[in-house]
Structure 1
């Protein structure tokens, strides 16, 4: 079992220091609340709607942004997952990083870019599995649109994860409402795992965000949910043992292997 904190965050487009300060405040509060992990949204370090500034602000996996996250993590005893723009030579990726103190960071790169905006800024990565262990649990990572492809979730479920952490930048509108209110819970149920889907708050110069972050459990219920797009921090318990009956009664992965 692990207590996690999730930040539905109002990023400041193009202001890395302001966004790191928001994450630091949340990490302090998360630690006070007994959380071992803090999750922040997609591209929260630069702001999702920063446009061409994202390219200028992109950093390598050992750059100052990741070092700052490591320092925040170490100072507060809280692991952090956050979205950032990752530079690798001439390429820029829409990435999420897992940091746990000053240990080697683990990077996941988004494989399914959404729309012309993202495709104009980023290179897609081949679908891949990034799995970390924390507090006795195995955690996978996806980013936003990736979770809408069931193959990505199933791949991580087959790899044995207990939960998938999904920083997102879900826009307001009917599609966003459906994804938040139905798809995330379905993905959790059909794979009998937890899914933490953590969105931006408010709006920036280009996008208005749906908010509606949620943490879905293996039985399809919500262990935490926002129903607005305001900035807020919420806590939830990730405990697979609580849902043992559902996991045993809906053995999709076991039966998939026997087909």
Structure 2
């Protein structure tokens, strides 16, 4: 049992969903040509991330809106499931969300729980729902968004639900701190939970905000299967859980847990 994953590192056209959808469609066609089952794109890939509170509010749509409808069309035409980030409106609230859109299926939407910095807190409401695991092509999959993955409890909660793959759209600001997250935190999350992590980042510049990139696909042994530089890229890796049984046996973190020793505090 395996799936071929593609991760798109992209520079958006800020505030221009039609242009971003065209870029994602091109990547989906390329992914399909290589036989990929899933294309993961970055945080807020449909609109751009650093576009300001007003434009986020203006562009926000429900999950039944035109942007996710267009992603559904891309998935149907290419046969590739697509994860896309977007501002999701529900009632009077806007959430930083990501949707997994597979051919012939209803979108699966995750909302970001940990908002990063004042700009995100001004633009979005945080999710109150814990992350959940769902089935995709015979795999147990969970989604997080950017800052969420930096909290070990989030990935561990998915692993304890049986996740084999954790999908993480992200938008890292450029700098050394972000490079540490990409190069140190992401491999650690994969290793300590024995999960694959597909980490898809924005790159380039959005209205004066420089973005790090940092995209990677990491295996359950903490080793990179694919990693991008600073520029736009399309990464590929095959997810084959059975190949990592030895790594799980060498470091059986989940089996050896002692929850009675873990005193949690607010």
Task: Using structure 2 for the length normalisation, give the TM-score.
Answer: 0.94
Partner of 2:6: 5
Which residue of the other structure, out of 99, 104, 129, is the alignment partner of 2:101? Answer: 99
Residues 124-163 of structure 1 mapped to structure 2, 5 A cutoff: 124-163=126-165
Partner of 1:30: 31
Which residue of the other structure, out of 68, 79, 88, is the alignment partner of 1:86? Answer: 88
Structure 2: segments with no counterpart, 5+ residues: 261-266
Paired with 2:200 and 2:129, the residues of 1 have a C-alpha distance of 20
Residues 13-28 of structure 1 mapped to structure 2, 5 A cutoff: 13-28=14-29
Asked if 2 retains the 8 angstrom alpha-carbon contact of 1:106 and 1:130, the reply is: no
Partner of 2:223: 221
- Once the 2 structures are TM-superposed, how far is the Cα of residue 229 of structure 1 from its aligned partner? 1.8
Partner of 1:253: 254
Paired with 1:154 and 1:131, the residues of 2 have a C-alpha distance of 12
Paired with 2:84 and 2:127, the residues of 1 have a C-alpha distance of 18
Question: 1:54-78 deviations in whole A, cap 9, x for unaligned?
Answer: 1100000100111111110011100
**Larger mean Cα displacement after TM superposition, 202-211 or 35-44:** 202-211
Partner of 1:64: 66
Secondary structure of 1:151's match? helix
Q: Does 1:242 align with 2:243?
A: yes
RMSD of Structure 2 on Structure 1 (CA): 1.1
Paired with 1:24 and 1:4, the residues of 2 have a C-alpha distance of 16
Asked if 2 retains the 8 angstrom alpha-carbon contact of 1:3 and 1:36, the reply is: yes
Asked if 1 retains the 8 angstrom alpha-carbon contact of 2:4 and 2:239, the reply is: yes
Which structure 1 residue ranges, 4+ long, deviate > 4 Å from structure 2? none
Partner of 1:198: 200
Secondary structure of 2:177's match? helix
Asked if 2 retains the 8 angstrom alpha-carbon contact of 1:161 and 1:193, the reply is: yes
Secondary structure of 1:254's match? coil
Secondary structure of 1:203's match? strand
Asked if 1 retains the 8 angstrom alpha-carbon contact of 2:133 and 2:162, the reply is: no
- Number of aligned residue pairs: 258
Secondary structure of 1:256's match? coil
Partner of 1:182: 184
Structure 1: segments with no counterpart, 5+ residues: none
Asked if 2 retains the 8 angstrom alpha-carbon contact of 1:107 and 1:130, the reply is: no
Secondary structure of 2:172's match? coil
Paired with 2:259 and 2:169, the residues of 1 have a C-alpha distance of 33
Task: Using structure 1 for the length normalisation, give the TM-score.
Answer: 0.97
